Structures are given as C-alpha cells and as structure tokens.
Amino acid sequence: MKELLQKAAEHFHISSFFSPEMDAPDLAGDSNRGLVRRHNEDSYIYIKGSRKTPTVAIVADGIGGHHNGDIASGLLVRLFLEKWRKYIEEGKKYSRKELELFLNTLFLAINDAIAKINKRFGSTHPMGTTLSAVAFYHHFLISCHSGDSRLYRIRAGKIRRMTNDHSIELPEVLRVKLAQEIAERVVQDGKCYTQKSRSVPRHMITRAIGTKKGCPPEYNLFRVKKLDRYILCSDGLFLHLSDEEICEIVQNSSNPGKAVNRLINTALQRGGKDNVTIIGAFFN
C-alpha cells in the first residue's frame, strides 16, 4: 500500500511528503567594502534552524547613489531579526504556507516602514535597499528578492541563477549624458561652478525595498535536494566573476566558509569596484 502511495505521490509531484526530514544547511557569510567605495552599504544576516525550525539568510545592498543606503539595508536586517525572533519563540508547528504568509507580511511591513521614513524627511533621493532572502524548511526553499542581489544554486556541478534582476542596464553613452545633466551646481562668490558629475550606476534598479509604499519583493518556491549548494550575493560579486567561475569555486570548496572567502578574495583581486557580500548555504 505504501509503495502505491509513493508512486501516486511521484506522479503528482508531491513525493516530498514521504521524504525524510532534512538537516539545516551549513552556513557562512562575510562582507567587504571593496577597494573603491568609501562605505559599505551592504548588510547581511543568517540564522541556522533545525529539522523543526526554518533556516533564513538575507543579503541587502543599499542602493548606490542614494542617500543613506547603508541605513536602509541595516534597517531591513534589524527589523527582520526583531520579528523573526518573536516568530521562532512562539514555537509554532511551521508549514510552508504559514511561512510564506509570514515572510510576505513582514517584508511588506519593512518596505512600508522605510518608505514612511523617506516621506517624513521628504528626500528627493529616497533611501532603499535590494534584497535577496531565503527560508529553508524541509525539502523546499522560499526565495524573496527585490533589485539585483542574487540567489544561485549549484547542483550536480551546474549553476542556476534562481532570481531575475530587477534592473535595467544603462549604455555607457546614456550614463555619461545623465551624469552631465545631474551635475551639481553651487554658487560661490557670486559665480556658478559645476562640480564633478555624480556617478551614474551601471544599472538602474526597477524594484527595491523602501523606495515606495506597497512594493513587496518577488516570491518563488523551489525544491531542495541533498548536496545542493546555494549562494546569496550582492552585485559586487558578479561584477567581477561569471556564473561559471562562481560555480567552479563553490563546487571545489569543502564548506561554505571557504567558498565565501575564495569568492570575496577573487572579487578583490579583480578590482573590488563595489561592496561585496556573500552567504553560502551547503546541504550535506
């Protein structure tokens, strides 16, 4: 009878119901300012769960060119941690749907809280942050992302980008033109001088946390398998490394700590033009 139920489950893609519980992944993370930027606007956090509680990891990158990007990414992490601790302390019997609802509600609340601060101060350049977050529980993961921070999966020697960037690449000609148009002008001694043009980012973010009210991240659900390896990162990583290079380093690292260190060091060796933040999650 059990064999018949298992075959039926496989046919209807619900075989995970009969699968044994999986241990939480091994985790490691680190962040580096890079070799060019004066400040690190990235923030990150990871909390290892168990067979009974979810594991979560977050990478947030304050939007470049906006004021207080580091404050926005830091706020996101701190607000999440505060609510997550209460969520775990309640000791609920977690389910996928219940976890999805919690994350959806929480990230929307965080988005609106940051947007409210922007409105209060009337900033013409509202602070915001990208987001790449995952929640692992049993045989699935919930991905929440906004902006161009990414989630990668390495499985059986192949890499797959699990998120689509919410951004538009700006051609160099357009970047130069925009930089000239937004050049700051100051009046000194009764004369007008043109300051050095503000730098224009390589990509224009089309979706972010905190820049406007009612803008939640994108959610996706994926199945997890044994020996899967996951990388969350800010754009300072893939600015310098291709997906294939990321795959090779992760595949040849014995644990997530070594993988994170090698990835960051490689990005720095190639110029370190941006902040780089990485979390690795390895399933045994």
- Distance between CA atoms of residues 45 and 28, nearest Å: 10
- Distance between CA atoms of residues 72 and 255, nearest Å: 31
Give the CATH H-level superfamily of domain 10-166+206-282.
PPM-type phosphatase domain (3.60.40.10)
The closest of 139, 137, 140, 84 to 107, measured between CA atoms, is 84
Spans of all domains in the chain: 10-166+206-282, 168-203
Burial class (CB in 10 A: 0-12, 13-18, 19+), 42: buried
Distance of CA 14 to the CA centre of its chain: 28
- Distance between CA atoms of residues 48 and 24, nearest Å: 7
Give tens-digit pLDDT for 48-65.
999 889 999 999 999 955
Q: What is the pTM of this model?
A: 0.84
Q: What share of the chain is helix, strand, coil (3-state, %, to 5)?
A: 35, 30, 40
Q: Is the dihedral of CA 56, 100, 163, 207 positive or negative?
A: negative
Q: Are 123 and 67 in contact (CB under 8 A)?
A: yes
- Distance between CA atoms of residues 284 and 281, nearest Å: 10
Average pLDDT (64-79) is 86
Average pLDDT, the chain: 86
- Distance between CA atoms of residues 22 and 54, nearest Å: 11
CB burial string 80-118: b at 16+ within 10 A, e below = beeebeebeeeeeebebeebbebbeebbbebbbebbebb
The closest of 108, 98, 57 to 81, measured between CA atoms, is 57
Give tens-digit pLDDT for 213-270.
999 999 999 999 999 999 999 999 999 999 999 999 999 999 999 999 999 999 999 9
